[in-house]
Amino acid sequence: MIAMPSGRAKGIFRFSTYEADPESGQLRKSGLRLRLQEQPFQVLLVLLERPGEVITREELRLKLWPADTFVDFDHGLNTVINKLREALSDSATNPRYIETLARRGYRFLASVEFVEKQTTPAVAAARPASTTAALANPFAATGVTKQAGVQSVDASGLTPASPPPSLLTQAEEVPAVRRLYVRMLFLLIQIMYLSFYITALGRLIRVQDMLERAFGYPAWAMTLLVISAVIGLPIRLYLTSAVAFDLAGLSQKFRRLFAVILPLDELWALSPFLLAPQIGVGLALAATAALIYVPFAQRTLLLMGDKTEGKASLTH
């Protein structure tokens, strides 16, 4: 069990799909306990108490090893950080949670929420005023000022349920990537879809012949193809101009359009099968599988761009 500093409210830290319980010394992901040794967990708690701040290697040394302990500190701390990153599925080169600052220390990148554990009414009524004040700011007794990245849930004394894990990628789960790379890749994807629509509409008779060979009676298929292309064209033109001129808030706008874009893209993911007689069923299946993922890839790309912007603003 990890020893709790005196005066800190009992509760858990939440970030992304993870929960860290200082009292039990447990780290959980989506409710499942992860194996993590005591020293990496202590380092994690220090980082979670001060998200966005630089935690020096000297601070961590004093936290992990007493002053009279003789140990290869640099190697030992590197091992501890590596184990912590492994537990969080994090990367030193593209960090989502723990950023290394050369010759300075480490910084926790994700937003953190501190949730107090539920207390019984009788205990709450008997609690002295000083203890109540300490619970209102669980970091006060340790000399740590509450940071903007940490949200403390109190007032009701109830612990809100953890949000169910989402099948879609969340902002906290992606690495930071240079915005220029994100824009270039996103623009290429829009150009790809525009070429699909324009080529299909420009060669409708050829497409109709392909559909007739594939489905026998292509009337419904032709109608679906034309309608989807007509809807998709303005959406792709908007996204192309938005990324070309670096429109602010593009990621949020794309997520609002995602409910429309997803069925369109999944429908056009079947287009390689029109070329199956020329390229073979196997290659058509492989191309379709890749195209099925593309709408989700676009969403993830924009989240990476947002992560880079947030990291830059945090640094400054």
282-294 pLDDT, tens per residue? 998 999 999 999 9
CATH number of the domain located at residue range(s) 11-165 in this protein? 1.10.10.10
Closest CA to 175 of 94, 280, 233: 94
Yes or no: say if 130 and 168 are a contact pair by the CB < 8 Å rule: no
pLDDT digits (tens, 9 = 90+) for 64-113: 877 666 667 788 888 999 999 999 989 888 898 999 998 889 999 999 99
Strands 112-116 and 150-153: what pairing?
parallel
Residues of the chain with pLDDT > 70, as a percent, come to: 75
Cα separation, 101 vs 221, in Å, equals 56
Instruction: Tell which wins on pLDDT, 63 or 33.
Output: 33
pLDDT in tens, 209-235: 877 776 666 678 888 889 999 999 999
pLDDT tens, residue by residue, 172-185: 777 878 888 899 99
Q: What is the CA angle 43-48-53, rounded to 5?
A: 95
Is 266 a residue whose pLDDT tops 70?
yes
pLDDT, residue 164, reads 56
What the block records as the tokens of 264 is 């369109």
Mean residue pLDDT across the chain: 79
Query: Domain locations in the chain?
Result: 11-165, 173-315
**Residue 90: partners with Cβ closer than 8 Å, 6 or more residues away:** 84, 96, 97, 98
| Closest among 241, 269, 223 to 261, alpha carbons compared | 269
- Other CB atoms within a 10 A radius of the CB of residue 66 amount to 8
More confident residue, 103 or 122: 103
Q: Report whether pLDDT(311) > 70.
A: no
Angle between helix 250-268 and helix 219-244 axes, rounded to 10 deg: 150
Q: Where are the beta strands (DSSP E) in 61-144?
A: 98-101, 105-108, 112-116
What is the predicted pLDDT for the residue at 41?
Answer: 92
The predicted structure's pLDDT at residue 175? 82
Which range is least confidently modeled, 29-33, 136-140, 223-227, 241-245?
136-140
- State how far the Cα of 273 lies from the Cα of 295, in Å rounded to an integer: 19
pLDDT for 153 beyond 70: no
Residue 139's pLDDT band, with cuts at 50, 70 and 90, is very low
- Of the two residues 69 and 133, the one the predictor is more confident about is 69
Strands 150-153 and 98-101: unpaired
Please check the confidence at residue 253 and state whether its pLDDT lies above 50: yes
Whether 41 and 2 have beta carbons less than 8 Å apart is answered as yes
Exposed/middle/buried for residue 51 (C-beta within 10 Å: 0-12, 13-18, 19+): buried
The candidate with the shortest Cα–Cα distance to 160, out of 48, 10, 12, is 12
